[in-house]
Amino acid sequence: MNDVATQVVETGRIIMQKDAEKKIFPTKFKSFRNPLLKKKKKLNVFVQAKNELEELAIKVEAQREENDFLRSFLNSAVENKFEEFDLYRTFVTETREFFVNTLQEIKDTLKQKGRIS
């Protein structure tokens, strides 16, 4: 249960970090496009194409960030499932050993009393 809470907190932190990066991305992108726009202001077609490219670049970057987030989330989920499986296997092994030992003790006790040959 604690691992789930940790994952939720980590997921929230990653989402907040990605939101902050999305706010910074347009200013970084503007610094790259400003020299190009100054040279090509007269060409309306170029500006329209550039705007479309900017929109596509932003969408691609957002999709890439989402994919990275989902990949890391799924990797951590799979890792946790393996840990849970190991805990389950340990629990079953210990339970089986307990019952085997208890049955052996009962058998030994009954043998001592002469009830089992």
* Entry pTM: 0.41
Beta-carbon contacts of 81 under 8 Å, excluding residues fewer than 6 positions away, are none
Local confidence band at 45 (pLDDT 50, 70, 90 cut-offs) = low
Q: Is the pLDDT of residue 95 over 80?
A: yes
Beta-carbon contacts of 73 under 8 Å, excluding residues fewer than 6 positions away, are 7, 11
Within 1-117, where are the H helices?
2-39, 44-112
Q: Is the pLDDT of residue 78 over 70?
A: yes
> Do residues 80 and 3 lie in contact, with contact meaning Cβ atoms separated by under 8 Å?
yes
> Do residues 18 and 65 lie in contact, with contact meaning Cβ atoms separated by under 8 Å?
yes
Q: Is the pLDDT of residue 11 over 80?
A: no
Beta-carbon contacts of 54 under 8 Å, excluding residues fewer than 6 positions away, are 29, 33
Q: Which two tokens stand for residue 26?
A: 């347009």
Local confidence band at 100 (pLDDT 50, 70, 90 cut-offs) = very high
